[in-house]
């Protein structure tokens, strides 16, 4: 008799693995019924992970999105599942236990049946509360094994890890092959080992297709006893996403498994709508490289779920790096060159950082350190010179114990910076704070929402929620979208004719610099330049002032000072916490002192002074964007 295999559609993850955003709630509601009509899915992944932050980023209420998106599946009897990050809840950083408890009860009320809980370090201690709170809230508690490939992450390791999760209350097990680098035979052996010990436990396989193993892994998992296989579908299957429904369905059927038939008319409608959403606005946030499978990722092991943000980070870093290269008379670095260097650097730093599984948020930490190392090395600086505070927290055990030891360089750096390892329960570092957010809701006069869902959103995503409430998020998103549309229109428009450019002397005077900054023995002078055939810009120049007068005036105005510049672009903050004391004018600072923070690539980077002196001016503004090499402080 053939054994039945169920299928789950990871519709949310399809988008997150491809780009930056997911569909709006009106789009999700439109596609829900055709997904149901396909008739082949026992489960649909509806929310969790970055889903709600993404809603907030384009100015949409995430709680309404979850309720409206899950309702059709609830009505049709299709189970809904969410992804949650253990100690981090559904964000990138740790959250207090009272907020975590609230999350599970609320998400069940909003229509989510199953919580797929994973810990980025596979730390059972961090998931004990997840399993407990999920069941208290009426959800099914599924424990996810974050699969990676290293000398320490053996088949026996994962089988024993499943034992620990089940002992702590997990009712199901997910094999979370987030980078798709789990070798098929090993995946099968892990599934079989768990089934041999726990024959009644449901096992679900989730594998990204990026390096090409996932089809074979799905078959090996099914043969070994897996009950449910996660799939994607066109036009977002493959690439950094998931194996395609049609491929997995045909393969399982041919292998003798019983799978539900697919209503192809409904399939084509879901396919059409998904493409429509991409054409509407989502396609502007999908890097073409994320639509390609890439076996180079076997070595680095970077997961599909973060490739969307990775390519966005690369896009920013390549601009910043090439600005520096041009300024220093060096040739540009191409995105492909930087990508390969990044992959190679990930392979180098990962063992040095203790082999954390490359899954959110720790894949981001490893990638960020690798990317910073690559850019710093390109600039002739040392490796490890930019490590953000979130990453240091992981390295020092504040998220749980790493499986491997730190490399000698990192151990020496931690010792030099007087960083102490933490060996306690990570949750103890984050005391309950729901009452603080409730007080903020009261102060602002904000409505708590159905089942206190608005309070939860503020507590889980404070910065993004405030931007959503103020309208800043919607404004920023619309501006960014219009800019991307304009760039695409410009890139596809016909080339400009010479006649449209104008006379050569006009081009010369327009493109040449009107002023430059000259550095003489550490003193900076602004020098105005006039061209014989160019009109003078009276805003920056004066016809009654010669260059020596201008230089003298500039020197008198500016005096002799040095600058501390931003080492990367992002959002500038003088403090990390509201209770911290910010640097101020008149402070004496020393080389190596932390003087500011820059939020970039989803983490907070502590910025150290690269010289000593007295602050005479703070030129960067707290909470505002800053570009690489922008002046943050002037010192004497």
- Specify the pTM: 0.77
pLDDT at 608: 82
pLDDT at 305: 53
**Of 172 and 593, more confident:** 172
Per-residue pLDDT band for 122 (boundaries 50, 70, 90) equals very high
Per-residue pLDDT band for 42 (boundaries 50, 70, 90) equals very high
What six digits make up the tokens of 528?
């105005």
Gap between the terminal Cα atoms of the chain: 82
How many beta carbons lie within 10 A of that of residue 311, not counting itself? 21
E-strand stretches of 221-366: 228-231
Q: Residues 401-432: pLDDT tens digits? A: 999 999 999 999 999 888 999 999 999 999 99
What six digits make up the tokens of 409?
């360089």
3-state secondary structure of 615: strand
Which range has the worst mean pLDDT, 145-149, 523-527, 615-619?
A: 523-527
Q: What one-character-per-residue DSSP string does 561-608 give? A: -EEEE-SS-EEEES-SSTTSPPP-TT-EE-TT-EEEEEEETTEEEEEE
How many beta carbons lie within 10 A of that of residue 239, not counting itself? 24
Q: Which of 256, 253, 237, 255 is nearest to 245 (CA)?
A: 237
Domains in the chain, ordered, with CATH?
11-291 (3.20.20.70), 297-429 (no CATH), 498-558 (no CATH), 562-635 (2.40.50.100)
Per-residue pLDDT band for 601 (boundaries 50, 70, 90) equals low
Q: Residues 182-213: pLDDT tens digits? A: 999 999 999 999 999 999 999 999 999 988 99
Angle (nearest 5°) at CA 236 between 230 and 241: 50
pLDDT at 298 over 90: no
């Amino acid at each position: 008799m053939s054994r039945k295999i169920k299928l789950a559609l990871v519709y949310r993850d399809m988008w997150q693995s491809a780009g930056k955003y997911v569909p709006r709630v009106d789009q999700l509601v439109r596609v829900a019924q055709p997904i149901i009509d396909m008739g082949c899915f026992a489960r649909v992944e509806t929310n969790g992970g970055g889903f709600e932050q993404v809603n907030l980023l384009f100015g949409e209420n995430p709680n309404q999105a979850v309720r409206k998106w899950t309702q059709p599946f609830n009505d049709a009897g299709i189970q809904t599942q969410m992804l949650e990050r253990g100690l981090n809840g559904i964000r990138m950083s740790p959250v207090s236990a009272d907020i975590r408890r609230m999350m599970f009860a609320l998400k069940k009320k909003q229509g989510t049946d199953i919580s797929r809980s994973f810990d980025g370090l596979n730390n059972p201690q961090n998931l004990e509360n997840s399993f407990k709170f999920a069941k208290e809230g009426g959800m099914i508690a599924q424990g996810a094994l974050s699969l990676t490939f290293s000398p320490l992450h053996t088949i026996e390791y994962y089988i024993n890890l499943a034992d620990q999760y089940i002992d702590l209350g997990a009712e199901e097990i997910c094999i979370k092959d987030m980078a798709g680098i789990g070798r098929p035979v090993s995946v099968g052996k892990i599934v079989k080992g768990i089934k041999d010990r726990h024959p009644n436990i449901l096992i679900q396989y989730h594998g990204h297709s990026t390096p090409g193993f996932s089809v074979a892994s799905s078959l090996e998992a099914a043969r070994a006893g897996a009950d449910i296989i996660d799939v994607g579908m066109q036009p977002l299957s493959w690439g950094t996403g998931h194996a395609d429904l049609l491929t997995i369905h045909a393969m399982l059927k041919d292998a003798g498994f019983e799978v539900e038939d697919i209503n192809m008319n409904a399939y084509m409608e879901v396919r059409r709508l998904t493409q429509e959403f991409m054409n509407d606005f989502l396609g502007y946030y999908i890097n073409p490289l994320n639509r390609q499978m890439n076996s180079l990722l076997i070595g680095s092991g970077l997961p599909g779920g973060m490739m969307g943000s990775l390519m966005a980070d690369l896009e920013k870093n390549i601009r910043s790096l090439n600005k520096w290269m041009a300024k220093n008379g060096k040739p540009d670095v191409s995105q492909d060159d930087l990508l390969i260097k990044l992959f190679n650097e990930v392979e180098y730093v990962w063992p040095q950082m203790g082999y954390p599984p490359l899954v959110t948020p720790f894949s981001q930490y490893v990638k960020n350190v690798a990317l910073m190392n690559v850019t710093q090395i390109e600039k002739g600086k040392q490796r490890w010179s930019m490590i953000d505070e979130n990453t240091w927290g992981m390295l020092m055990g504040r998220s749980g114990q790493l499986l491997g030891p730190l490399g000698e360089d990192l151990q020496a750096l931690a010792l030099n910076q007087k960083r102490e390892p933490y060996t306690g329960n990570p949750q103890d570092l984050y005391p309950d704070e729901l009452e603080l957010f409730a007080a903020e809701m009261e102060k602002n006069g904000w409505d708590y929402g159905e089942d206190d869902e608005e309070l939860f959103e503020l507590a889980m995503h404070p910065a993004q929620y405030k931007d959503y409430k103020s309208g800043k998020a919607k404004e920023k998103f619309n501006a960014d979208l219009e800019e991307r549309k304009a760039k695409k229109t410009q890139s596809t428009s016909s080339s400009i004719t010479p006649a449209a450019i104008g006379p050569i002397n006009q081009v010369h005077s327009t493109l040449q610099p009107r002023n430059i900054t000259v550095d003489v023995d550490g003193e900076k002078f602004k020098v105005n330049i006039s061209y014989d055939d160019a009109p003078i810009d009276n805003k920056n120049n004066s016809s009654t002032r010669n260059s020596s007068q201008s230089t003298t005036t500039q020197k008198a105005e500016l005096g002799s000072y040095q600058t501390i510049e931003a080492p990367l672009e992002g959002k500038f903050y003088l403090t990390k916490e509201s209770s911290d004391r910010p640097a101020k004018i008149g402070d004496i600072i020393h080389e190596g002192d932390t003087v500011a923070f820059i939020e970039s690539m989803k983490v907070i980077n502590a910025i150290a002074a690269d010289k000593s002196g007295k602050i005479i001016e703070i030129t960067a503004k707290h909470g505002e964007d800053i570009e690489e090499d922008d002046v943050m402080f002037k010192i004497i």
